[in-house]
Chains A and B, each alone.
Chain A
Amino acid sequence: MLSALRCIVMRDLTLAMRHRSDVLTTVFFFIIVVSLFPLGVGPDAALLKEMAAGVVWVAALLASMLSLTRLFADDYNDGTLEQLMLVPQPLVLIVLGKVLAHWIISGLPLVLMSPLLGLQFGLEGDELIMLMLTLLIGTPVLSLLGAIGAALTLGLRGGGVLVSLLVLPLYIPVLIFGAGAVTASAAGMGADGHLSLMGAILLLALVLAPWASAAALRISVE
């Protein structure tokens, strides 16, 4: 089981390494969107600091949307998806492997970049760590929930836009608690409650999303 999971993750990571531009687009999109806000809002340090968490989080949601459509579409188009469905491994495991790889490719870089971007908004020490921590717990949820949308819209025309409409509303709880945790910690209140809730959302998504995606894939491939 674990070797199959590793095999899928390694396969998708190898593919991403041969298509490095795809990975870089997501990261640069994230950086650019976040950097546009200080330019647009103006150099009001207090205001920027207040909106920092929200801006970084919304940019992270949008950036993770970018690569979602390709999560299953490439495999669907060249027929490898149907082959993956026929291997003697649970489809849920294969979906989980692909989601994990997607997170490593498009979620983890955002987590690593976030402190640098937080600095632009005047966040300091603990707030930067909190921002990184919320993204670390939150971005896997984005990949997991996104997989359901990507699987449902597979093979549809204009699937990219549809995915955003389907998935962005599902991202709202993560956004609220993610940005809320940073704001709370900046205000000197504890963020434990926020973090626990995010952890709960992550566990729930980890258990349910692969099953939902696998069921959606079976329908789409037919």
Chain B
Amino acid sequence: MGKALLEIKGLECVRGDNQLFSELSFSLEGGSLLHVHGPNGSGKTTLLRAIAGLVLPENGEICWNGEATGRQEDDFNRELLYLGHHYGLKFELTGYENLKVFANLSGAEISEHEVEAALTRFGLAHCVELPVKVLSQGQKRRVALARLLLQRSKLWILDEPFVALDVAAVELLLGVIKAHVGDGGMVILTTHQEVAMDAGKLQHLHLGEKPAASMAAQR
């Protein structure tokens, strides 16, 4: 067993007056994939946003490398890549420009060639110079996902990453996730789609059930 990099201790999140979950604890080590299950409204997105630091939890602690994430913002953010429901892309910019902005801001040295290679890998070689607004939903999602290949983040948090993707792209993304986990990376994701995931140490977390059952058995 490796050392747990990400630790969630007694997490409680509230949305409005509605308590989504409480006393949620789990830990994640390098090379593992956490699949968060749960019906609509069970707090999957809130959990992912809380881990990313976008939502302040009501109670509990999120630790990265043994230190609370709130206190080490830039160090944690360097290791984190969060892709949510929104594409997080400027529609007036081209896919290339969008990726370049985030590559520059991530602080890593990323060459133009690497950006193009990432887009090509996601099957977007022909639309490098097109503004994102003329791309289809699936293509937009692919541009957003191309960031996975560029930023060398250790922890990927993916909220419904398979939405709008075609079969080939789903396969591709699964391959990318597998490779990342194989390299010792960590992935937390939610999806309602039936996809065959068998990468590294696969863990399941079920939200929206009785607290006692909230942490299901690991495989």
Task: Spell out A's residues near B (CB within 8 Å).
Answer: 3-4, 7-8, 11, 14-15, 18-19, 78-80, 82-90, 221-222
A-B residue pair count with CB separations less than 8 angstroms: 73
Q: Which residues of B contact A79 (CB under 8 A)?
A: 84-89
Nearest-Cβ distance from residue A204 to partner chain B, whole angstroms: 26
B92 and A221 form a contact (CB under 8 A) = no
From B56, B88, B89, B90, contact of A82 by CB (8 A): B88
Besides the known contacts A78-B88, A88-B106, A222-B56, 6 further A-B residue pairs in the complex with CB atoms under 8 A apart: A7-B105, A11-B97, A79-B89, A80-B90, A83-B102, A88-B105
Give A79 to B196 CA distance when docked, in angstroms. Answer: 29
CA distance A82 to B90 in the complex (A): 13
Chain A residues with CB under 8 Å of B75's CB are 88
Taking CB atoms, residues of chain A closer than 8 Å to B107 are 4, 88-89
Interface string of B75-96 (1 = CB under 8 A from A): 1011010101111111111000
Query: Is there an interface contact between A7 and B101, defined as CB atoms closer than 8 Å?
Result: yes
A78 touches B87 (CB 8 A): yes
Per CB-CB distance, the 3 closest pairs between chain A and chain B, nearest first, are A79-B86, A83-B88, A88-B78
Residues of B within 8 A of A221 (CB): 54
Q: Which of B56, B90, B102 contacts A78 (CB 8 A)?
A: B90
The smallest C-beta distance from A140 to any residue of chain B, in angstroms, reads 23
Q: How large is the interface on B (under 10, 10 to 19, 20 to 34, 35 or more residues)?
A: 20 to 34
CA distance A19 to B131 in the complex (A): 13
Closest to B100 in A: A7
Q: Which A residues are CB-close (under 8 A) to B80?
A: 86
Smallest CB separation, A21 vs chain B (Å): 12
For B102, the chain A residues whose CB sits under 8 A away are 83, 87
Question: B55 → chain A, closest Cβ, in Å?
Answer: 5
Q: Please judge, given known A-B contacts A11-B101, A18-B92, A84-B105, whether A78 and B86 are in contact too, CB under 8 Å.
A: yes
Q: Which residue of B lies closest to A78 (CB)?
A: B86
Cα(A7)–Cα(B101), bound, Å? 7
- Interface residue? B52 (CB, 8 A): yes
- Chain B residues 127-167 with CB under 8 Å of chain A are 131
Interface positions of B from 45 to 65, Cβ below 8 Å from A: 52-56
B55, B74, B84, B90: the one within 8 Å of A15 (CB): B90
Whether the pair A4, B85 counts as a contact (CB closer than 8 A) is no
> What residue of chain B has the Cβ atom nearest to residue A77's Cβ?
B86
Which chain A residues border B111 with CB–CB below 8 Å? none
| Complex A-B: 11 CB contacts under 8 Å | A7-B104, A8-B105, A78-B90, A79-B84, A80-B90, A83-B102, A84-B105, A86-B80, A87-B77, A87-B102, A90-B74
Nearest CB on B from A56, distance (A): 32
Establish whether residues A222 and B97, one from each chain, have CB atoms under 8 Å apart when the complex forms.
no
Give Cα distance in the complex from A4 to B85, angstroms.
25
**CA of A83 to CA of B104, assembled, Å:** 13
Whether A3 contacts B104 in the complex (CB less than 8 A), given A14-B93, A15-B93, A86-B52, comes out as yes
